[in-house]
Amino acid sequence: MIVEYHRPQTLAEALELLQRPQPPTRPLGGGTAFDFKGDQPVAVVDVQSLGLDAIERQGNLLQVGATVTLQTLLEFPELPLALGDAICHQATYNLRHQATVGGSLVSANGRSPFGVVMLALDAQLTLMPGERTLSYGDFLALRDEFLAGHLITRIQFNPQVELAYQAVARTPADLPIVCAALARWQSGRIRLALGGWGKTPTLVLDGQGHEGLRLAAESAFSAAADEWASAEYRSKIAGVLAKRCWEQIAAKAKEG
């Protein structure tokens, strides 16, 4: 139950509120999702007035403010097409105008296409206080710990990384039963992430070379059963989508 609402005008004010021991206090962005579990009273800090809504290019990296909406990010000219596809799969047009990049990553479960692609891209999050930077994968592993008393201020990733996204869903409007995102750097580094099941997106592979990509995807979802699909089905489809992602990236490399 929300017992307090605050809309600070400075980052210092916001951090002071978030670090209070009581009541538990959490940031609020677009308001489409609120990541707080339990029945106890909670306070919210609206972060929309903190100036965290800019997108900037710094060298090879894209710096995205935490309160940038998904629609604003989607419309950015240099955005990889595959990331745009995942954003469209993540939320409808109206929700994309409200949902923020930071909030979408914080609340992402295993069925989040946006979370899957950002995990594949090895997106880096900056948390305050302390301006600490950590990978999205590390954040997901200890999400509750990092959320307490902290605020994500920006997200950065390399938009020039080769990227492919594939998904299977019951209808085009549904979240995926299985989705896969594959990123490849010029150095040959490859990261494969899967979604459609579980509490968080799943990092399957981070290394050199694509050999064994399909087998790794199948193995990662070998126990991925729930009310939406059997583990056998998900495992098979995960392998197929991983293969398609690689073929898509390889085809683009030949064209280039």
How would you classify residue 193: left for phi > 0, otherwise alpha for psi between -120 and 50, otherwise beta? Answer: beta
Mean per-residue pLDDT pooled into runs of 10, the chain (256 residues)? 86 90 81 62 88 94 96 95 96 94 94 98 95 95 84 96 97 93 96 97 93 95 96 98 96 76
Residue 16 identity (one-letter amino acid): E
Other CB atoms within 10 Å distance of the CB of residue 223: 11
**Which contiguous run of DSSP H or E holds residue 60?**
none
- Phi then psi for 83, rounded to 5 degrees? -70, -35
Query: Up-side HSE of residue 231: CA atoms within 13 Å toward CB?
Result: 8
Q: Which of 193, 177, 165 is nearest to 234 (CA)?
A: 177
Distance CA 130, CA 206 (A): 28
**pLDDT on residue 210:** 85
Give Cβ neighbours of residue 216 (< 8 Å, ≥ 6 apart).
192, 204, 205, 242
In which residue ranges of the chain is CATH 3.30.390.50 found?
A: 162-255
Q: Are 46 and 141 in contact (CB under 8 A)?
A: no
Asked if residues 167 and 113 have their Cβ atoms less than 8 Å apart, the reply is yes
Burial of 88 (0-12, 13-18, 19+ CB in 10 A): middle
Q: Where in the chain is the domain with CATH 3.30.465.10?
A: 55-157
User: What pLDDT is recorded for position 35?
Assistant: 54
Residues 82 and 146: their CA atoms lie apart, in Å, by: 28
The confidence score (pLDDT) of residue 55 equals 97
Closest CA to 155 of 36, 52, 75: 52
pLDDT at 211 (0 to 100): 86
Domain 55-157 top-level CATH class: alpha beta
The domain at 162-255 falls in which architecture? 2-Layer Sandwich (3.30)
Per-residue pLDDT, 32: 61
